[in-house]
A = this chain, B = another copy of it.
Amino acid sequence: MAEQSMADPPEPRQRHTDTLKNRRREQLIKSTITSIAKRGFADTTLANVAEGVGLSRGIVNFHFTNKETLLNDTLQYLADEYRHVWRHALDRAGPTVAERLYALVMADFDPVVYNRKKIAVWFAFYGESKSRPTYLALCEQRDEQHYIALRDLCRQLLDESGRMTVDADLIATAISAIIDGLWLDRLLTPNKMSTKRAKETALGYLDTVFSGHFTLHTDATDTRHV
């Protein structure tokens, strides 16, 4: 009774060669994500994970030596996936700074990452991160890279409009915080927070700061209730 994921990530980074062994590893990681989302971090056992891919109990220790290793690799996988999504969004974005900023912020509401299952897992790792240095480092790093991209775009946009004196860091921090907060809303009150509403909230802020530039494009798909 293999429980399996939803939106499969677009192969986060072209990792390793595509051996059978690596396929299994990925299967197990996905099963781990599914289990954490469903049962929580504390109640996720290796037996659950193995059952999720329809294999025997010992399988995880065979591919990951440790439970801890599996968990680390799972977080790494999520971080890779997340990075891939926003970088890809930037790659496809229009040429102007405003377009790029728009794309970057909207990427955080891409259904691949912005869905209750994935968000639940992220917050599960956040919840353990204070007591686990490895998690903390991975989470920190995920944020850091995204933040830099965000701040640089804000700075450019401010420069363009001649507002060099405004603190780009403050704005980027605020945007980042809003997004994180909206993710948390999706986790805690999924019924009250549609994807559309979340995007509007984030864009509402952008539009307030960079007046007139940002309103929601209407092609947005709403994946509420996931």
User: Interface on A for B, CB 8 Å cutoff?
Assistant: 37-43, 116, 120, 123-132, 136, 139-140, 143, 167, 170-171, 173-174, 176-182, 184-185, 187-189, 197, 200-201, 204-205, 208-209
Contact = CB atoms under 8 A, between A and B. Distances in A.
This chain: copies in complex: 4
B174 A185 contact: no
A205 B171 CA distance: 8
A181 B202 CA distance: 12
A126 to B, nearest CB: 5
Instruction: Name A's interface SS.
Output: helix
Contacts of A40: 127-128, 130-132
A143 B188 contact: yes
Contacts of A205: 174, 205
Given A41-B42, A177-B180, A181-B179, A124 B128 contact: yes
